[in-house]
Amino acid sequence: MEPNIRWAMDFVSGGRRNGSNIRVLTVIDEVTRECLALEVNHSLTGKRVTAVLNGIAPFRGLPKEILTDNGSVFTRNMMNAWADDYKLEHIFTDPGRPTQNGYIESFNGKLRAAGLNQHWFRNIPEAKDTIENWCLEYNQVRPHSSLNNLTPVEYALELSCNYEHSPYAKYEL
Q: Domains in the chain, please, with CATH? A: 6-95+107-125+134-142 (3.30.420.10)
**What pLDDT is recorded for position 121?**
81
Pairing of strands 21-29, 6-15: antiparallel
SS3 state of residue 83:
helix
DSSP classification of residue 63:
-
**What pLDDT is recorded for position 2?**
83
- This prediction has a pTM of 0.88
Of the candidates 144, 147, 121, the one whose C-alpha atom is nearest the C-alpha of residue 24 is 121
Segment-wise mean pLDDT, segments of 10 residues, the chain, 173 residues:
90 70 92 95 92 94 94 88 95 87 91 78 88 94 92 90 56 43
**What pLDDT is recorded for position 85?**
95
- Residue 93: which residues within 8 A CB-CB, separation 6 or more? 67, 68, 69, 70, 100, 101
**What pLDDT is recorded for position 170?**
47
CA dist 59 and 108 (Å) reads 23
